[in-house]
Amino acid sequence: MNARVLIDGPSELVFDYAIPAGLNVRPGCRVRVPLRRKSATGTVLSTGEPEQADFALRQLESLIDPEPLITPELLRTAEWIAHYYGSSLESVIRSVLPEGVRSEENSAKTRRIAMLNAAPDPALIAKLEKRAPRQFSILNLLSHAAGNRLAVTELGEGNSTALKALENLGIIRIEIEEVRRDPEADNVEEILESKPLQLNTGQALALEAVLQAVAQPKESKPILLLGVTGSGKTEVYLQAAQRALDLGKTVLVLVPEISLTPQTVRRFKSRFAAMQDQVAVLHSNLSQGERFDEWHRIRKGVARIVIGARSAVFAPLPDLGLILVDEEHENTYKQENVPRYHGRDVAVLRAAFEPCAIVLGSATPSLESWNNTLTHKYQLVRLNERADDASMPLVRVVDMRLEQTKHKGGPAILSDKLRTALEQRLEKGEQSILFLNRRGFARSLQCTSCGHACQCPHCAVALTYHRTDERLVCHVCGYQSLVPRKCPECRDPGILLQGYGTQKVEEVMAKVFPQAKFARIDADTMRRKNALRDTLAAFKAHKIDILIGTQMIAKGLHFPNVTLVGILNADLGLHVPDFRAGERTFQLITQVAGRAGRGDLEGEVIVQTFTPHSPSIQYARKHDYDGFSEQEMEFRREFTFPPYAHCAVLTSRSTHERRAEFTLQTLHLRLSESLPSGITLGEVLPSPLIRSHGQFRFQITLRSLRARPLTNHVQAVLSKTSLPEDVTVVFDMDALNFS
């Protein structure tokens, strides 16, 4: 027998090795192998009978772990991802088995524990008090410690000889204990136990459907839980998780962003207070040591609930019983780097392979998931009313074209209606949220004389002015420069700030409402660890009157005292070259609007826009998902866009513009030859963002009713094409980003 082994390291080296007799090697095992003149570690991808060769294979040296670290179900999932998304199996395995687990540099953290074997003889204690004061001191500390045990480090330095003497006398014993590196260790917030809430009729029916799927996973379909904002989807999640745990199963909870992980962890720890230590966290912001500990706690079955972002879909949970995908419509579930998998779709696939129940929850489901309910691939469960009989907020649309006329052509940040509404909330002691999905102070700096705008030297975008740091910043690559006092082109001092971001909104609000307390949440203010948690806690404690933020505050937040939400510019994502622009705008407005009126007080939402008649805005105003999806699906059907077809993007990038374009033109020519029927091949076009990170980019869009023939055709052409050294070609199946 031989084994195909993926060698650890940045390169994707895969070699075959012979398996020595008596070594139980299976796919997913971690092994040590000879590599040139050194030893290396790797992961077994497969085993099988050796092929005939003119040379003898080198043998595996040893097994690192007796049991495979990758389960057969996860290995099967990895193979599916590799074939569907056109990635190498090696790149997928690196996602399934993260570096923090593979690397030999990481291991369990341990400490030495001293503990009393039995109550020592009083005569011996008296003797030690006179002749061995250090030994007496140690015994005294241990006898008064909880459980008669203490870490050796807590007994003070220079006690190793005394400890050894006590151990030889049989009075104490020294044991090695693993120490968990807890990602939530610095969270000093007290978690109070919560009890299951009384469900309304809609929640009870939803829970019944989920529990039936948990009990009979093989016969169940994925469940799409469409619940309006504030309808109590989280309570359904919690009670369904309790049922899965009662059956001896484990639970996986996926959230779209790392910033939403802490509050989800608190909710689950609060509900399952007796088993807080059985809740694990997985996301890319963990240290290598934290990831190592959490991953092995999950694999060993110590942690029965796993909460995390996209990569947590590969958590090695045994006896998986329920997968919960919150805000399933979010595009952050799509991996931007190889392998470019979609976390939601992989979760659905894993639920089929395990098998287990899966629930996809959202107030604004993706049209792909919605179409799966129409074709009966998914089961649809709806929550049409808010929990506790709370009413949906009243949404008012303000035409900013009229406001601009009132302000004599100047850019109005606050309409008269929004300003009045904010004044009323401050007088009543209620809280408000202002949403603008653009950080910084001004969108760009532009010369009034020659029209020159300060551009990023590496990307085809204007630099954003950040007043706090007095810098011009590129929001694509992070490039920064000093703010010029004169135009770099014509030397005219008349440079104007164009547009506005959250920094300017905060400055304007402080002038208009000097008595109010503000806080801003965006990528600039939330750099400090736990800054987001602390700010939200202050807002919850009503230490903040008005919260200003980007999409970080758009979802998942529950503040009963918030009665007003202002969306300052609803058009930002509407007019971009992306067929999903309308869908994303509708989702974002609906999600942000859902932060208002979640308590006993009625909520109001004011949407400021220059295109008030856009279907996305009008349907969001009426909280009408069915109406929006019907008209949007008709548009997609007419032009054969997803969900009626699979859409992929083939992108070339290089520091040489002509070389990137020529490479893609060559690939286009080869793709058009023997093009399988049912595949639509677009033309070679510059990407909407033609230059990014110093590289020019061109792309081809491909569409097909079936995904596999499309992927197979592209991969076959790529495998036969030699690319220039300085050109990179990327294939993105089911692409969500077209910029």
CA 69 to chain centre: 23
Torsion sign (Cα): 578, 582, 585, 588:
negative
Residue spans per domain, the chain: 2-102, 109-179, 201-389, 394-441+500-635, 445-499, 646-732
Better-predicted residue by pLDDT, 489 or 54? 489
| Least confident interval from 128-137, 404-413, 694-703 | 404-413
- Mean local confidence (pLDDT), 478-493: 91
Q: How confident is the model at residue 408 (pLDDT cuts 50, 70, 90)?
A: low
Tell me what pLDDT residue 410 has. 56
CATH domain 646-732 topology: Alpha-Beta Plaits (3.30.70)
Q: Quick one: pLDDT band at residue 409, thresholds 50, 70, 90?
A: low
DSSP class of residue 614 equals -
CATH fold of 109-179:
Arc Repressor Mutant, subunit A (1.10.10)
- In terms of phi and psi (left: phi > 0; alpha: psi -120 to 50; beta: otherwise), the region of 557 is beta
Can you tell me the mean pLDDT for 427-450?
93
Q: Which CATH number fits domain 201-389: 3.10.580.10, 3.40.1280.10, 3.40.50.300, 3.30.1360.30?
A: 3.40.50.300
Query: Which tens digits make up the pLDDT trace of 122-178?
Result: 888 888 888 888 888 888 888 888 888 898 888 877 788 888 988 888 888 999 988
pLDDT above 70 (res 188)? no
CB 82 within 8 A of CB 88: yes
* CATH 3.30.420.310 assigned to 2-102: no
Which pLDDT score, from 0 to 100, does residue 110 have? 87
Residue 185: pLDDT over 80: no
Q: How confident is the model at residue 458 (pLDDT cuts 50, 70, 90)?
A: very high
Alpha helices in 622-699 (DSSP H): 625-639, 657-672
Is residue 276 predicted with pLDDT exceeding 70? yes
- Checking if the pLDDT of 616 tops 80, the result is yes
> What span, in angstroms and rounded, lies between the C-alpha atoms of 265 and 267?
5
Please give the Cα distance from 666 to 688 (Å, whole number).
21
Q: Give the whole-angstrom CA distance, residue 14 versus residue 5.
A: 5
State the average pLDDT over residues 604-627. 96
Average pLDDT of the residues in 207-226: 97
Residue-averaged pLDDT of the chain: 92
**How high is the pLDDT of residue 282?**
93
Q: What is the pLDDT of residue 658?
A: 96
pLDDT reported for residue 598: 86
Identify the pLDDT of residue 140: 85
Whether the upstream peptide bond of residue 66 has omega within 30° of 0, thus cis, is no
pLDDT tens across 14-43, in order? 899 999 988 999 999 999 999 988 999 989
3-state secondary structure 320-353: EEEEEEECCCCHHHECCCCCCCEHHHHHHHHHHH
Residue 214 and residue 681: Cα distance in Å, rounded?
42
Confidence (pLDDT) at 411: 62
What average pLDDT does the segment 70-78 reach? 94
Segment 93-118 shows an average pLDDT of 86
Contact indicator for 609, 398 with CB cutoff of 8 Å: yes
The DSSP letter of residue 155 is G
Which tens digit of pLDDT belongs to each residue from 578-595? Answer: 999 999 999 999 999 999
Q: Do 553 and 595 meet the contact criterion of CB atoms below 8 Å apart? A: yes
Please, is 471 exposed, middle or buried when counting C-beta atoms within 10 Å of its C-beta (0-12, 13-18, 19+)?
A: middle
pLDDT tier at 496 (50, 70, 90 boundaries)?
A: confident
pLDDT at position 528 is 82
If you search the block for the tokens 């879909």, which residue do you land on?
A: 313
Q: Mean pLDDT throughout 329-350?
A: 96
User: Are residues 309 and 284 in contact, defined by beta-carbon separation less than 8 angstroms?
Assistant: yes
Region 331-354 average pLDDT: 96
Q: Judge: domain 394-441+500-635, CATH 3.90.400.10.
A: no
pLDDT band at 53 (very low <50, low <70, confident <90, very high): low
Mean pLDDT of 225-242: 95
The pLDDT value given to residue 407: 64
Q: What is the pTM of this model?
A: 0.91
pLDDT confidence of residue 304: 96
What was the pLDDT predicted at 180? 87
Q: What is the mean predicted confidence (pLDDT) over 554-574?
A: 90
